[in-house]
């Protein structure tokens, strides 16, 4: 089973520099090493493991908002998205949507009654949607959120 991690980078004084998530911490940390100007300040790293990606995303956003790390540019984006009705983002596997008769993003637009969908991104095997869209799919199809998100 695939696991995901939430990591926190701290400086020598224990000040929180960055909070991130990844399914491959060592690869992600290597990216920070080459692209993040603050990487050399890291003296301590704390890693938590999760089995559920949706839970990880929720915890990451909550942690960034509450702990206010110095170098998380994502922080402003999270706060802004909260203001725009998208309380949090879920990943739904495309095959689960297809099993409910939803074959394309256009069908999500019909379900939500919007001119444009609240989908965040269509990936190879899954799609990102807001909680509001997940609830509308549930209402239209009768599928439980546990089914959609599991």
More confident residue, 131 or 86: 131
CA distance 43 to 109: 47
Q: Of all residues in the chain, what percent carry a pLDDT higher than 70?
A: 65
Burial label for 91, CB within 10 Å (0-12, 13-18, 19+), is middle
82, pLDDT greater than 50 = no
Domain 4-83 has CATH 3.40.50.920: no
Domain ranges of the chain: 4-83, 89-149
pLDDT: which is higher, 76 or 12: 12
8-22, 34-48, 136-150: least confident range:
136-150
Does residue 23 contact residue 57 with C-beta atoms inside 8 Å? no
* Number of alpha carbons in the 13 Å side-chain half-sphere of residue 36: 20
Is the predicted pLDDT of residue 87 greater than 70, yes or no? Answer: no
| pTM (predicted TM-score) | 0.52
Q: Identify the burial level of 135 via C-beta atoms within 10 angstroms of its C-beta, where 0-12 means exposed, 13-18 middle and 19 or more buried.
A: middle
Of 35 and 148, the one with more pLDDT: 35
- Evaluate if residue 72 carries a pLDDT over 90: no
Q: Indicate the average pLDDT of the chain.
A: 76
- Supply the pLDDT for residue 138: 79
Q: Per-residue pLDDT averaged across 26-47, rounded? A: 90
Q: pLDDT band at residue 80, thresholds of 50, 70 and 90?
A: very low
Q: Name the helix (H) or strand (E) containing 34.
A: helix 25-35
At residue 10, the 3 state secondary structure works out as strand
What's the rounded Cα separation, in Å, for the pair 110 and 113?
A: 5
Any bridge partners for residue 92, and if so which? 127
């Amino acid at each position: 089973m695939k696991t995901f991690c939430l990591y926190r980078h701290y400086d020598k004084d224990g000040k929180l520099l960055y909070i991130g998530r990844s399914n491959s911490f060592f690869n992600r940390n290597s990216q920070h090493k080459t692209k993040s100007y603050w990487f050399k300040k890291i003296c301590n790293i704390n890693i938590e493991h999760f089995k559920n990606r949706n839970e990880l995303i929720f915890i990451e956003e909550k942690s960034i908002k509450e702990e206010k790390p110095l170098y998380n540019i994502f922080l402003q984006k999270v706060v802004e998205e909260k203001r725009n009705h998208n309380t949090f983002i879920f990943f739904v596997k495309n095959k689960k949507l297809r099993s409910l008769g939803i074959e394309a993003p256009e069908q999500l637009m019909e379900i939500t009654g919007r001119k444009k969908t609240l989908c965040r991104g269509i990936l190879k095997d899954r799609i990102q949607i807001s909680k509001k869209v997940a609830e509308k799919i549930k209402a239209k199809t009768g599928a439980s959120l546990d089914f959609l998100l599991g």
